[in-house]
Amino acid sequence: MSGGIFILSGAGLSAESGLKTFRAEDGLWEDHRVEDVATPEAFARDPELVQRFYNMRRTQAAKAEPNAAHQALARLQAEYDGTVYLVTQNVDDLLERAGAQKVIHMHGALKDAMCAACGHRWPAPMEMHVTDPCPACGTAATRPDIVWFGEIPYHMDAIQTALEDSDLFVAIGTSGVVYPAAGFGQMAQQLGIRTVELNLEASGARFDEVHEGPASRIVPAWVT
């Protein structure tokens, strides 16, 4: 046992910063389910619609401020006498803006653009369009650097290593329906790691300990 703490966060962490979750009743975007917008097929079918979705999300995320839960996690990472791995499914940068370091963004980041033709990445402008040329190869195949359904999440090797280096797994504000992240808790249990869920409402998955309530209240309370 190394004493590492593995924290997996989801949309519930940023909900009180004003960023919508995906599967709440109000989680639809212009009547689209996330599965209909966040797929390579959706991008191929209607790239401008998908770009508008992410342009809107990028603007919202830039205006949002970290909440008490982001701040508590950054404080925990700075003060804990061991490694706190922050693995997030969120594409906002609110953990970093709260002072967190080395955040592992397994589903990509709104602040980055990617060329679908050559894979080059660069900082995304606030408004992206499919006609924008890639600065490296010149092809007009610009897309947000986001992991869509059917694509392989980022940093899976680092995530596995972090899990193996931890003896506490904490899931915060995630519904636990999207794989592979949904399987991390079970992987932790198989490794003999204690599991904790902090969520507005329990997800129903098996955890050793569950705390219900808004992240801005229960995360600082748990960290203390």
Q: Mind telling me the catalytic residues?
A: 107
Q: In whole angstroms, what is the distance from residue 50 CA to residue 42 CA?
A: 7
The residue from 18, 27, 82, 119 that contacts ligand BJW (CB under 6 A) is 27
Q: Is the CB of 137 or the CB of 221 nearer to ligand BJW?
A: 221
The answer to whether 102 touches 88, Cβ cutoff 8 Å, is no
Quick check: 186 and 8 in contact, CB under 8 A? no
Is 36 in contact with 53 (CB distance < 8 Å)? no
- Which residue's CB atom is positioned nearest to ligand BJW? 12
How far is C-alpha 222 from the chain's CA centre? 20
Stretch that binds ligand BJW, among 44-52, 115-123, 129-137, 199-207 (CB under 6 A): 199-207
Which of 70, 105, 107, 111 binds ligand BJW (CB under 6 A)? It is 107
Pairing assessment for the beta strands 166-172 and 4-9 based on DSSP bridges: parallel
Residue 113 near ligand BJW by CB under 6 A? no
147 lies in the binding site for ligand BJW (CB under 6 A): yes
88 in Cβ contact with 100 (< 8 Å): no
Binding residues for ligand BJW, how many (CB under 6 A)? 37
Instruction: Tell me whether strands 108-115 and 121-123 are parallel, antiparallel or unpaired.
Output: antiparallel
Give the shortest CB-221-to-ligand BJW separation in angstroms: 12
Could you give the angle at the alpha carbon of 77 between the alpha carbons of 22 and 184, nearest 5°?
Answer: 45
Binding to ligand BJW by residue 200, rule CB under 6 A? yes
* Site residues (vs ligand BJW, CB under 6 A): 10-12, 15-16, 21-24, 27, 34, 38, 89, 91, 107, 146-153, 156, 173-175, 177-180, 199-201, 203, 214-215
